[in-house]
Structures are given as C-alpha cells and as structure tokens.
Amino acid sequence: MKPFPDSSQDTRQRLLEAAILVFAEKGFDGAGIREIALKAKANSALVQYYFGSKEGLYTAALKFLFEQGPDAVGGLTPPPAPDEPEARSKALASLRNYVRAFLEDLFACRDPEQFSREMHSAVHLFWTREMMEPAPERVDMIRAHIQPHVDYLNACIRALRPDLDEEGQFLMGCSIHAQIMFFHRDMAMIALLRSEAYGARDMDRLATHITDFSIRGLGLGSTLQGV
C-alpha cells in the first residue's frame, strides 16, 4: 500500500517551486526539507515519496527549471556549412535569429502569469549558484541543456570565420553569450541606470544590437543591414 495514495501532481509542483525558493536563498547545504515542505504547505514525508532525498529534490528542481517556457532556440534552422553558397549572409541571419531566440527563452520566465517576482529572482539565484559550482553528479544534465546552444552558436561563427581555430571560435562564442546573459542577469541594475528594464518589447532591438556588435567583434566590419 502506498503511503500517500491521494497525493497530486499539484503537490509535487508546489514542492519543486518551494525548493527553488529555498535553495536559491540558502543553497543546498543550508536548505532543509522541513522548511521546503512548510513553504509548499505539504507533508515533509512527501519529499521522500516523490524525490527520494534532498539531493533528488534539488536535481528535480533544476530539471524543472530547464523544462519551463518555450524552447525558441530548439526550433531554429541549422546554420550553413562554411563552404555552402552564400554561407556568410545565411550565417549572419542564423546568428541574429539565435540571439533573438535565446533572448526570448531567457526573458520568458519574466511572464507574471507564470512566475511571481519572488520566483523570478529565485530562478536566477538558483541557476547562478549551480553554474558557479556545478556538482559532479549534475554536470551531465547541465551540459545536455547548454550544449545545443554552444554548438549552434559555434556553427554560426565557423561559417562566418572559418579561419579561426576551435579555441578562437569558442572564445568568440563566450563573448557573444556574455552579452546576451548580461541583459537578462543584470536587468535590475540596467533598470536603475536607464530607469526601465528591458522586456519582451525590446527583443528585436537587443538582438540587432548584440548581433551588430558581435559582427564587428568577429572582425567582419559590417552590420545586419540587408540581412
């Protein structure tokens, strides 16, 4: 006989959302199962029932974050090969589309219908903690989530600058990703500096700015005009 036959999926999700809030604030070591369960308004024994342990809950909460919102990047047309006809113009368009799609994915979690302000902040703290010090047992899961982004961007750069070696392409990719992440990660500071945070209405403007800046950084000396 199962110990909690009437437990619902809603309870499981409440535990995941509560876990994100508590883990974000206190980290893995500082968070307690009872505190998480209390915030979720659930029996603490349900953590064991659904997730097996605090470690299992942490991993499930991280996976839950990965599954939220649309996957705009996943639906993009693959970038061209370096020797494909019109590879440069196609790669420029792919780069711009990638930047725009990644921004969409990042800013999707700001939707107030899906995430409260408290949850929005917690999502970023939780993710930042894990990216700074990923636990060995979660490295494969994190890599599986971010590798498609890295591969897509590197393919764009390879088509634009086939003369670069792999390390050069990787460094260029890091610089472009850093621009994208800055506008999202530091949105509160940006809002203080310009009196308003960037949002969904600014995606095209940000995508064009980041892509133009990146094109110049790649040494191509041109903009997106006509692409």
157 and 116, same structural domain?
Answer: yes
Does 45 lie in the same domain as 154?
no
Residue-level pLDDT at 128: 81
Asked whether residue 66 is domain-assigned, the answer is no
Q: Are residues 145 and 204 in the same domain?
A: yes
pLDDT at 3: 40
CATH number of the domain to which 127 belongs: 1.10.357
145 and 191 together in one domain: yes
Q: Tell me: do 146 and 53 sit in the same domain.
A: no
* Whether residue 91 is found in the same domain as residue 200: yes
Residues 163 and 113 in one domain: yes
* 91 in the same domain as 182: yes
Provide the residue range defining the domain that includes 30. 9-61
Q: State which of 61, 86, 105 marks the end of a domain.
A: 61
Q: What is the mean pLDDT of residues 29-56?
A: 93
Is 225 contained in some domain?
A: no
Q: Are residues 156 and 95 in the same domain?
A: yes
Q: Are residues 81 and 156 in the same domain?
A: yes
User: How many domains does the structure of the chain reveal?
Assistant: 2
DSSP letter string over 183-220?
HHHTHHHHHHHHSS---GGGHHHHHHHHHHHHHHHTT-
Residue 94 lies in a domain: yes
Angstrom distance (rounded) from CA 188 to CA 71: 24
4 domain-assigned: no
- Range with the largest mean pLDDT of 125-129, 171-175, 185-189: 171-175
CATH number at residue 40: 1.10.10.60
pTM: 0.82
Look at residues 75, 72, 85 and name the one whose alpha carbon lies nearest to residue 180: 72
The per-residue pLDDT for 14 is 93
Residues 42 and 126 reside in one and the same domain: no
pLDDT at position 94, please? 97
pLDDT digits (tens, 9 = 90+) for 65-115: 887 766 778 889 999 999 999 999 999 999 999 999 999 888 775 455 556
Distance (Å, whole) CA 134 – CA 127: 10
Q: What is the pLDDT of residue 1?
A: 28
Asked if residue 224 belongs to a domain, the reply is no
Q: What is the per-residue burial (b if ≥16 Cβ within 10 Å, else e) of 1-38?
A: eeeeeebeeebbebbbbbbbbbbbeeeeeebebebbbe
48 located within any domain: yes
% of the chain at pLDDT higher than 90: 57
Is residue 118 one of the residues assigned to a domain? Answer: yes
Are residue 96 and residue 17 in the same domain, yes or no?
A: no
